[in-house]
């Protein structure tokens, strides 16, 4: 493990950006987690992958950055805690800028690779089935599918923020993929393990590591129009009747909204498609129009 960047912190010891490197030469992959300090599933997934790599002799180079926003993780916050900046909105960064910009710059420089993967959890109030978000076509989509995560979500590149890590990597001509699973603040070992296996599948596909013979398969391979998004028709208390990964048919009850005082049922949420539940609201207090459930259509 090497420290690729550090800065003085007010009182708790220095901030350090850690990188673990396996192998040398090409092809090269950089895998980053914990840009958002409270997204623990990504951190755990990269550490699980680290355990797998320890017993391998990679044919190529793998750089792991398991936890970028260490102080955010300490405090269970997504952003850099001192000035509330989102490191993932700070790329490509500035070596002379505010701290989040300096960390972003150091990470961007140290993650130079042919292929870069940014691993996140969902927000604290939503749970995501492990998924990879990829462009609409091309080699990155092929690589995304090789991970065999439950959902491949093809999204137009135009949606990417240029100040985000993925956008900055792509602007620099590197291939980049975005992996998301579980929810913020909590650790779901099952989802983290799925994400780690997906990363290992990708390294196997690239010939960097031995092929992990994982039984995983892509359940939903979707574009935005294949994803059925349910938003709250009214404010209230949302009770989910399904879990992420559940397969549903048209008419399947996904959950209901009830009054937080007295429990009167206000609305029901039902699938209108055949598919797999990919996102569920986890924090039940909801305002009108907030996201409740996403179903990835499989037909």
Residues that bind Zn ion (CB under 5 A): 36, 39, 120
Q: Shortest distance, CB of residue 88 to Zn ion, whole angstroms?
A: 6
Rounded to 5°, angle at Cα 45 from 41 and 50: 150
Q: Within the chain, where are the H helices?
A: 40-54, 70-74, 99-110, 138-146, 165-171, 189-205
CB of 173 to Zn ion, least distance (A): 24
Burial class of 284 by CB neighbour count within 10 A (0 to 12, 13 to 18, 19+): middle
- What are the CA-CA distances from residue 167 to residues 117, 125, 141, 152, 241 (Å)? 12, 25, 16, 18, 36
Q: Give the nearer residue to Zn ion in terms of CB position, either 36 or 174.
A: 36
Quote the least distance from Cβ 120 to Zn ion, whole Å: 3
- Cα torsion angle, 130, 134, 140, 142, sign: positive
Nearer to Zn ion, 126 or 269 (CB): 126
Quote the least distance from Cβ 176 to Zn ion, whole Å. 14
Using the minimum distance from each CB to Zn ion, give the nearer residue, 177 or 254: 177
Specify whether the CB–CB gap between 62 and 23 falls below 8 A: yes
Taking the complex as a whole, the smallest distance from the CB of residue 34 to Zn ion amounts, in Å, to: 9
Residue 164 or 297 with smaller CB distance to Zn ion: 164
In which region does residue 237 sit, left (phi positive, over 0), alpha (psi from -120 to 50) or beta (all else)? beta
Instruction: Closer to Zn ion by CB, 69 or 101: give it.
Output: 69
């Amino acid at each position: 493990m090497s420290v690729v960047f550090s800065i003085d912190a007010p009182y708790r010891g220095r901030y350090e950006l850690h990188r673990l490197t396996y192998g040398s030469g090409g092809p090269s992959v950089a895998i980053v987690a914990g840009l958002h300090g409270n997204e623990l599933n990504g951190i755990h997934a990269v550490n699980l992958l680290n355990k797998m790599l320890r017993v391998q002799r990679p044919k190529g180079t793998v750089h792991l950055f398991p936890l970028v926003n260490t102080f955010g993780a300490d405090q269970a916050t997504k952003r850099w805690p001192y000035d509330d900046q989102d490191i993932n909105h700070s790329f490509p960064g500035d070596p002379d800028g505010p701290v989040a910009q300096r960390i972003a710059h150091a990470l961007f420089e140290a993650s130079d690779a042919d292929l870069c993967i940014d691993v996140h959890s969902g927000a604290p109030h939503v749970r995501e089935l492990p998924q990879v978000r990829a462009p609409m076509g091309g080699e990155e989509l092929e690589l995304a599918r090789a991970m065999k995560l439950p959902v491949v979500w093809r999204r137009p590149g135009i949606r990417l923020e240029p100040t985000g890590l993925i956008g900055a990597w792509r602007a620099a001509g590197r291939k980049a993929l975005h992996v998301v699973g579980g929810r913020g603040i909590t650790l779901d070992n099952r989802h983290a393990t799925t994400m780690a296996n997906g990363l290992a599948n990708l390294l196997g596909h690239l010939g960097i590591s031995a092929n992990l013979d994982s039984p995983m398969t892509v359940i939903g391979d979707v574009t935005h129009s294949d994803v059925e998004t349910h938003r709250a028709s009214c404010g209230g208390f949302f009770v989910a009747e399904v879990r992420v990964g559940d397969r549903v048919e048209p008419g399947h009850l996904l959950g209901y909204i009830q009054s937080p005082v007295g429990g009167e049922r206000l609305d029901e949420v039902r699938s209108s498609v055949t598919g797999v539940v990919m996102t569920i609201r986890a924090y039940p207090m909801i305002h009108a129009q907030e996201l409740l459930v996403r179903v990835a259509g499989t037909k």
